[in-house]
Amino acid sequence: MTVRRDFQEPPRCRPDLVIGREDLFTSAREQLGRGGSVLLHGPAGIGKSTILRALAADYGGSARTVLRCSATESESHLPFLALADLFGLVLDEVSEQLPSAQRTALESALTGRGESTLQRDGLALRLAVLSALRALAAEGPVLVVADDLQWLDAASAELLGFAARRLGDTPVQMLCAVRTEGQEYDRHLRASPPDTLAVRLGPLTRTQVSALLDHRGYTPLSRSTIRDIHRTSGGNPLFALELGRALAESPTRPRPGEPLPVPTSLRALVLSRLEMLSDEARRTLLVASAGARPTLALLHAAGREQAEAETAQAAALGLLATDAEGPAVRFAHPLISAALYAEAPAQERRAVHAALSTAASDPIERARHLALATTGTDPEVAARLAEAGALALDRGAPSVAASLGLLAARHTPADSTPGPDERRLQAAEDAITAGEADLARDIARDVLTRATVPAERVRAWMVVIEAAGQALGEVDAVFPQVLADAGDDPGLLALVHYQLAWRGLVVEGDFAEARQEAEHAAELAARGGDRRTELMALSFQASTETLMGHPGAPATVKRALREPQDPYVACHHNGAGSARFRWLIMSDRLPEARAVITALLREVRRRGMVESEVHFLRFLADTELRTGHCGRALDLARESLRLARDAGIGEGASAMLASLAEASAGDVDRALALAREAADHAEVDGDQMYLSRALAALGYAQLVAGDPGAAVRSLRRVRELEHGLGINDPARGRWHGDLAEALVRIGEPGEAQDVIDTTRAHALRLGRESVLAVLDRAEALVRAARGEHEAALVRLASVRDRLGRLGYGLEEARAAFALARLRAQVAALPRTGGTPLPGPASYDEAARLFRRCRALPWLRQVDAAVAAGSTPVEPASVAPPVALDALEGLASMERQVASLVMEGATNREIAARLFISVKTVEATLTRVYRKLGIRSRVDIVRLAAGRRTT
């Protein structure tokens, strides 16, 4: 076995592999495990060598012989150097097994006299390489590991390709990596064994870049900084790490609106080609690098008269990407633009921004360039920047508004009205709206170091508290300070008591205290003339009363919805619209709840309110889950979780809902992991309210996974938590039926009946029809456990119909499944006479309903029950869910559209629910038909029913 020193990877580098490359690594390893070969390809710095080394270390132990080579550009002109790397240490082992002519040819090549030999008898050398590999393989599997194929000397590359194409069934595998741009790997693939899997390494997502930087210790970096690193690096891990290192080592961070500093290590990669540009072309590219959306027209307006010729010169050098579909001037990689800008002198950069401040057509971009072209304070520039920030906020770009606000503050004279700190606080509040809590916190704490005006101090403290999110326990020490700053001003005190209401709920877990604080905050805000805070407090009071089962909830919801309204509060995730949604969904008014939350989601997306979008995606997923649109719910829940993790807000709550959706329509193991993650988040944050929700999700997932004992343990704890919190409305968590069912399964029907009786009293008082139906389903299982089969069957049939009428599709399917199981059990009992029990023993109806819901985990339970042989069943009812399997091969939007068609939605209804146009729905359906091999909506409906299409 040959082992080169440059392949001995430092252990600390290995964990980088799993960040964003898990699926890729798994598929490559499975390919090697099947006896195939792998070709990794992608641009420089994308992580090919890291993956190659990890695969070689992970799989290399399965091979008897590992042959390695790693070429460099400086060595690529030396013939047979790679061949010497591969065979130098095994030549003695194989030479005696080679025919004389082949042995001579191979020895000649490896000792440096091979070029003339190849010219004289090239076939002998080619056959020698092939024979050597076969000889090694005769003793056991061989793995050839070759990195940087693009630098392989031509002679070695030709010989390796010759052998690779002729190895056949010989147990020789190749694991190679090559630097490519686009699809340039084809010629390398042709020189690989026929069974080679080509794996392209693409850029990392922003979340993955954040994880990579965190793993390397480049913390703390704000979300906005990570966003800039991701954009500048283009998702390239090497570039991202170098940028992160440069920022970590820099004593000062770039100001808002300024590009990141590009370290020397990266400048060298991209600036060498810039030296081939003319001075005028370089200036033109500098203008393009400073522009937000550079076009030839913009370059002309900025004074670059020869822009066409100069950009053409840059494109010929590979600095610009040609774009035949539009007028944009696009750099081949964002790093080129960043390095070019970073290399330019400050005076030259200001001149470029000055030109763009009049050339740009967008007022926001003009204001930004004006700021970057100006030094020192200037009230006129500050005013224009503030106006641009307000415009950006109105356009739904709060992150841009925050950046412009900070620029405005920098140019605001100290004695101006509004002052620089007031503008900084506006930027902080915009950052909160954009989901950039870390940036907002930093701005607010900076203001607090010098602010003396009570209103500014309280406003800054409010930002600090809001930036804490669910982790309000971490800012407990803030409340005495902010109360002191507020004095006896009712408007300022209203802000503080509103946050104390949240503290009472999240930290203390006391709904009664939270409600009283919210009510007090609304009264103070009304006295102080602060309508926005009054509405927020009323909305909080209404939501709390709804969750408590307080009789005043409907009246408080109406008060929160009275005019005059505030547009921000109306669509905020803690605003009046959200309070109305909670009341509707807990009152079993599902169609109205969906309409409300759909409209709210559309509005916050328009406004760029990231945190509210995270919450509303989760609320809509919850609504779809209740109505039995489980596939749609799963897509929404996953989207909410991705956005929450990317923004660093609401992760626990989104993980909780994603767990429920995964347990209903996806992967039960993932559901268990997500529920535990959500519980961990809540424990760390000290959030008792969401801890109970997370444990309820865990109990449900455990029940679906077939572990009723674990489900009972989790749900008993939920019962204790909610009793302590004062939550009496069973529609809030809807876990009571699951606990009763799990108790029956572990042989505790008495405790199950106690749970049912206690919960039923609250549900009857509040009129929670769906909860009552689920409790009746659980009680039917208790009766069955006690031998009251006839009564249980009648009750289950009634429950199934009631849940269907209420629109709870998944609960209806669960009732049908319980009914089928009980009928099957009863059918297996010996009968000695009496009245026949109602209904045939068949799982057809349960399977149909679960298929309609796309409830895969539940369908598997139906299949398991059928496989157990409890009852005969029609072939169609036990056939695999063809539609569900087929949909897994579709893109996300295609899958969502197809799922809604299966549920009977029209194109217009689909467009409204997915926030797309009817034309987009039609185009998406055309792609779905093609991919599924069908012709119409009717065929999709047939798939949903488990029937073949024609």
Q: How far apart are CA 273 and CA 424, in angstroms?
A: 41
Q: Report helix, strand or coil for 2.
A: coil
Structure tokens at 432: 């909160």
Q: Would the CA dihedral through 126, 131, 136, 140 be positive or negative? A: positive
- Return the bridge partners of 508, or none: none
Q: How far apart are CA 476 and CA 461, in angstroms?
A: 12
**Tell me, what DSSP letter sits at residue 469?**
T
Q: How far apart are CA 214 and CA 19, in angstroms?
A: 11
Q: How far apart are CA 760 and CA 776, in angstroms?
A: 9
3-class SS shares of the chain: helix, strand, coil, % to 5: 70, 5, 25
Helices (H), 449-530: 454-467, 478-486, 490-506, 511-528
Token pair 């409830």 is found at 855
Q: Which helix (H) or strand (E) holds 41?
A: strand 37-42
**The total number of residues written for the chain in this structure:** 950
Q: How far is CA 60 from CA 13, 147, 198, in A?
A: 18, 15, 19
Say if residues 649 and 611 touch (Cβ distance below 8 Å). Answer: yes
Q: Which helix (H) or strand (E) holds 330?
A: strand 330-331
Q: What's the confidence (pLDDT) of residue 10?
A: 36
Q: How far apart are CA 105 and CA 111, in angstroms?
A: 10
Q: What's the confidence (pLDDT) of residue 883?
A: 46
Token pair 């068949």 is found at 842
Q: What's the confidence (pLDDT) of residue 258?
A: 65
Q: How far apart are CA 29 and CA 610, in angstroms?
A: 38
Rg (CA), the chain: 33
Maximum Cα–Cα distance for the chain, whole Å? Answer: 103
Instruction: Pick out the chain residues at pLDDT < 50.
Output: 1-15, 114-120, 324-325, 836, 870-883, 947-950
How would you classify the pairing of strands 65-70 and 142-147? parallel
Q: How far apart are CA 718 and CA 855, in angstroms?
A: 25
Q: What is the DSSP string of 196-259?
A: EEEEE--PPPHHHHHHHHHHTT-----HHHHHHHHHHHTT-HHHHHHHHHHHHH-SSPPPTTSP
Q: How far apart are CA 329 and CA 838, in angstroms?
A: 74
Q: How far is CA 949 from CA 174, 820, 880, 934, 944, in A?
A: 43, 28, 15, 7, 10
Please state the φ and ψ torsions of residue 408, each to the nearest 5 degrees.
Answer: -60, -40
Q: What's the confidence (pLDDT) of residue 946?
A: 54
Cα 170 from chain centroid (whole Å): 43
List of residues 6+ apart from 554 with CB closer than 8 A:
583
